[in-house]
Amino acid sequence: MTARREDGYHVLQTVFYPIEWCDALEVLPRQDLSSGSEANRKSGDEASSAETEDKRISWRQTGIQVDCDPEANLCVKAYRMLQGKFAELPAVEMILEKRIPFGAGLGGGSSDGSHALLMLRKMFELPVSDAELEAMAAKMGADCAFFCRCGNGMNTANNGDRMQAYYCDGIGYELEPHPLTLKGKYLVVVKPPFGVSTREAYSGVRINRPEIPLKELLGRPLDEWTGCIHNDFEDSVFPLYPQLAKAKATLYERGAAYASMSGSGSALFGIFDHEPKDFTTWFDKDYQVRGHWALV
């Protein structure tokens, strides 16, 4: 956290890095709702479904349940944004399988909303440039631009190029490609059984502009990161949730070359030189733990 603007936004030095943890979003033209999609025909899954007041969107969510009105979901908000620009936007059916935990600092909701924009643009061949789409996404969340831009074939700017890290010195959407690569490293991501609200995280964070920009520090060898790269949110969040400090210590005790909280939390990640054994057993059963080789 390097500054706070007059409009209340906080200025960050941060890096966005893609990981292998995703939701599943399906968007279909709304034609015959009586038959539904394959996702709608599933039985035995916990699900919530709704139809918006104007009948333009049929909404269904499975997986992790989020207790909110469909209109508050970023996928529906994405449709509304495009509907405001294209009044005759066709009606759709949206099915979201929620797998990324919320309140985790992993950008799950932002990813969903951003990909809804990308999918709707492609599905209905809307004349919206990448820059326009990112500007719309930024209204949903400052981190949405990363998900609009990073590693998917629906983005015309990168022509479906490989995923990569992006550096930001701003409120979240001022992105520039960064050469950071963790190829050959193994990532372990752990999410405790609680989240950290954005308001909670930002209310206690202190302004701290480093002498050396994060962009340069990321170029140092990984084994030097612990001494020079620090997530400022940890200073305000860890005293509220000591379990997070304990989880981070566990990652280091198990051999992580570097460990940190992800964004404003509550998820943490550890970077390992090899795939550690039995890492899913390191934490209590109500913790979600995932691991995979680095993508970029």
| CATH number of the structural domain spanning residue 250 | 3.30.70.890
Distance (Å, rounded) from C-alpha 267 to C-alpha 194? 9
Do 272 and 255 touch, CB atoms closer than 8 A? yes
Which region among 79-88, 137-146, 188-197 has the lowest average model confidence (pLDDT)? 137-146
Establish if 2 belongs to a structural domain. Answer: no
Predicted pLDDT of residue 41: 43
The pTM assigned to this predicted structure is 0.86
Give the count of beta carbons closer than 10 Å to the beta carbon of residue 87: 6
Q: Environment class of residue 229 by beta-carbon count within 10 Å: exposed (0-12), middle (13-18) or buried (19+)?
A: middle
Q: What are the DSSP calls for 130-164, one per residue?
A: HHHHHHHHHHH-TTHHHHHHSS-TT-TTTTTPPP-
Establish if 11 belongs to a structural domain. Answer: no
Please name the residue that has the structure tokens 């919320």.
102
Give the count of beta carbons closer than 10 Å to the beta carbon of residue 18: 20
Do 18 and 11 touch, CB atoms closer than 8 A? no
Predicted pLDDT of residue 223: 94
Tens-place pLDDT, residues 89-128: 999 999 999 999 989 999 999 999 999 999 999 999 999 9
Residue 47 above 70 pLDDT?
no
Tens-place pLDDT, residues 118-170: 999 999 999 999 999 999 998 998 889 899 987 455 444 444 445 789 999 88
Helix (H), strand (E) at residue 191: strand 186-191
Establish if 14 belongs to a structural domain. Answer: no
94 and 223 in a common domain? no
Higher pLDDT among residues 48 and 257, named by residue: 257
Domain that holds residue 257: 186-293
Counting the structural domains of the chain, the total is: 2
Do 27 and 115 touch, CB atoms closer than 8 A? no
C-alpha closest to that of 114 among 92, 142, 87, 93: 142
100 and 226 in a common domain? no
